[in-house]
Amino acid sequence: MTIGNRLLKIIFFFILISMMNSSFAQDSSIEKKVDSLLARMTMQEKIGQMVRWTDLNSETGKLIKEGKFGTMGDMGWRVRDSLQKIVVEQSRLHIPLAFAADIIHGYHTVFPVPLAQSCSWDSALVEKAARIAALEAASNGLNWTFAPMVDIARDPRWGRIVEGAGEDPFLGSIMAAANVRGYQGKKLSDEGSIAATAKHYVAYGAAQAGRDYNTVDISVRTLRDIYLPPFHAAVNAGAGSIMSAFNDLNGIPASENYFTLTKILRDEWHFKGVVISDYNSIGELVNHGVAANKEDAAREGITAGVDVDLAGDTITGNIYSPYLGDLVRKHIISEKLIDRSVRRVLRLKFRLGLFDHPYVDKEYFRKNMPSQKEKNKIARQLGRESIVLLKNEGHLLPLKKNIHSIALIGPLADDQADLLGPWAPNGIPENVVTVLQGIKDKVSPETKINYVKGCGILDTSRSGFDDAIKAAKESDVAIMVVGESRDMSGEAASRTNLDIPGIQNKLIKKIYEANKHLIIVLMNGRPLTIDWISNNVPSILETWYLGNQTGNAIADVIFGDYNPSGKLTATFPRVVGQIPIFYNHMNTGRPPSPTDHYTSKYIDCPVTPLYPFGYGLSYTDFKFSDIAVNKKQIGMDDSVIVSVNVKNTGDAAGTEVAELYIRKMVASVTRPVEELKGFERVFLNPGESKSINFTLKPEMLEYYGVDMKKIIEPGLIKVMVGGSSDDVISTSFEIVK
């Protein structure tokens, strides 16, 4: 390719990126309206647009009439519209309020938690779930969600791993974009669309020791290779806003980090949307020790590029309202900084259509809201696809529906509230289908279900053991539903011990002694350490928290109405001491060798994970063969097509996820032993085969070189395809100058 053609390609690429970020490209008519409004605003009214209020009290009406704040939380549509009426009809400039809240995995209809959703590897279905969540939230008056969480997480001790897509930046980027599209719809101004917020910017998932809110100290290379890509994908998908994180990053807190908030987000990525702080993350700059007081914190937040202060519950709980005006009057900051942020907020409100349609159009939602039956269908399908079959020794699963008897045991077997998972404030436990109910609805009338709770999640008493053991002995098969409570994962829910909590493990061992035909159904918000269970129990299902349709989805899999297809997106360690553990690690100068003592491994535990990234079994078997590339040599600007054949060699129809990985064998900087670069869900009947093609584009072969600029280097690329990161076939091609 000539230099001229390469230049044209680069120009086209940047035009494409600009178009992908078009949701917040400057619309001339909107810009004129923003200019006109901004010119008439007082300093107080400007700063008011930069504050998100969370309190509702007797003073609220007066404060919003005076323009003291421009965004509120989830109030319910009636209260919301009554407050909006005050602003639209009684305030000086009639700037409508925006209403924003966390909608993490559903609103009224609760879907699987995001970590579970990612295990489906089905971005189209994830997008549909986000669309339903947006419609439900918008019908109740919300315009803006603080989701999706796109943090990469390599440490399952961190409770918020449950809110993201796991450990891989490629998959995380695809899920980030899918969620943004789902929340925002075709146009932000549509009634059923809400602005998405990619959070938490940035590297929050790398908190030291897996402890929430803790410091982050990583290289700029790791930041750019691992933690930034999902945010970039969200921006390119048109995300309305970005949330600055709690953590500090290499000594500079994320909410005052000019490098990430301005140099990367604005200058490199050309982001036109709003940056909102996490809850009080600007005020916490004082605790970080980088601001002497709240006024200093306000200066640092606005200077770095945070547009909106997600405030506390009172007027003294936010940082921007009391201090920004004084900072301008003292000439410490320029009013241009204020105008810049206010412009972004007003632009978002115009794009949301709030000026034209400030109230909730209930008639629109009556006509356009999917039926609950349709919503439950999506929730059930996403739940089924999110379940990962970890083990199935002796083909114990699936069970026959006319089985004579089943012992159903465990603290989560007839639970409703915990099955919603964390971050489901609008979920109604009574709407959740329990595992007990799902199994009852599935089996024949003659099947006897012996349900015994056995113990609570955190119980210390074994008083329920005897009844559980008796039920197991008297049944053909035992199913145990065990794991964490919903509040044991999520924000501020870090753990040092990743065993199944309480005495559940002790009960599992007793039931296994009583009935070797044991199926473990795990419910949890993170990978757990289940080494004993994996070594002994014949069948294990990882089901996470699946939301409203939990019982139906699990019963579909247990009884074979759905062949499990889920694949892990977070590595399962054998023991906590292996953490952090992830598939795309570097090779080291002394890679592990069983025959050489002086290599990188442990003396008391295998170096390998219990279950690797991309792992998941099926009720059938799949074979990959005939991997090939269409070119054995390519130029720096060329693409290569990777083809592979997948065959269902078993006796049941099923879906396999074909996973494409690469490895740059020699480079100027160390590269991971594997990098995910593509995947495809493939449904095959018994004996059926299909040829799949993946295209590796030049930008997929780039990485940051010695000088931290993206490059493509000559050399050998190993290409691997398979059903798991540790079960692949391979070929190679060479990049030449």
* 662 phi/psi in degrees, rounded to 5: -130, 165
Q: Where are the beta strands (DSSP E) in 70-228?
A: 71-72, 98-101, 144-145, 197-201
Contact between 282 and 319 (Cβ < 8 Å): yes
Give dist(CA 520, CA 454) in Å, integer: 14
Q: Report the greatest alpha carbon distance in the chain.
A: 81
Q: Which tokens in the block code for residue 43? A: 């300093």
Give dist(CA 342, CA 36) in Å, integer: 13
Contact between 554 and 597 (Cβ < 8 Å): no
H or E stretch at 662: strand 654-664
SS3 (DSSP) at 345: helix
Q: Which candidate in 278, 309, 459, 556 is catalytic?
A: 278
* 93 phi/psi in degrees, rounded to 5: -105, -5
Helices within 123-248 (DSSP H only): 123-139, 169-184, 220-222, 229-236
The bridge status of strand 144-145 relative to strand 98-101 is: parallel
Number of C-beta neighbours around residue 407 at 10 A: 28
* 645 phi/psi in degrees, rounded to 5: -105, 135
Closest CA to 226 of 122, 165, 149, 153: 153
Q: What is the DSSP letter of 8?
A: H
CB-based contacts of 39: which residues, under 8 Å, 6+ apart? none
Give dist(CA 312, CA 207) in Å, integer: 24
Q: Which tokens in the block code for residue 123? A: 């971005």
Give dist(CA 280, CA 277) in Å, integer: 7
Give dist(CA 489, CA 159) in Å, integer: 4
* 735 phi/psi in degrees, rounded to 5: -90, 130
Q: What is the DSSP letter of 71?
A: E
Number of C-beta neighbours around residue 535 at 10 A: 9
Tokens 């990469």 belong to residue: 152
The 3-state secondary structure of 405-426 reads EEEEECCCCCCCCHHHCCCCCC
Q: How many residues make up the chain in this entry?
A: 737
One DSSP character per residue, 259-313 reads: IIIIIIIIIIT---SEEEE-TTTTTTHHHHTS-SSHHHHHHHHHHHT--BEE--S
CB-based contacts of 535: which residues, under 8 Å, 6+ apart? none
Give dist(CA 237, CA 181) in Å, integer: 7
Give dist(CA 326, CA 294) in Å, integer: 12
- Our answer to whether residue 225 is catalytic in this structure is no
Contact between 578 and 605 (Cβ < 8 Å): yes
Q: Taking the CA atoms of the chain, what radius of gyration do you get in angstroms?
A: 27
SS3 (DSSP) at 595: coil
Where in the sequence numbering do the catalytic residues fall? Answer: 278
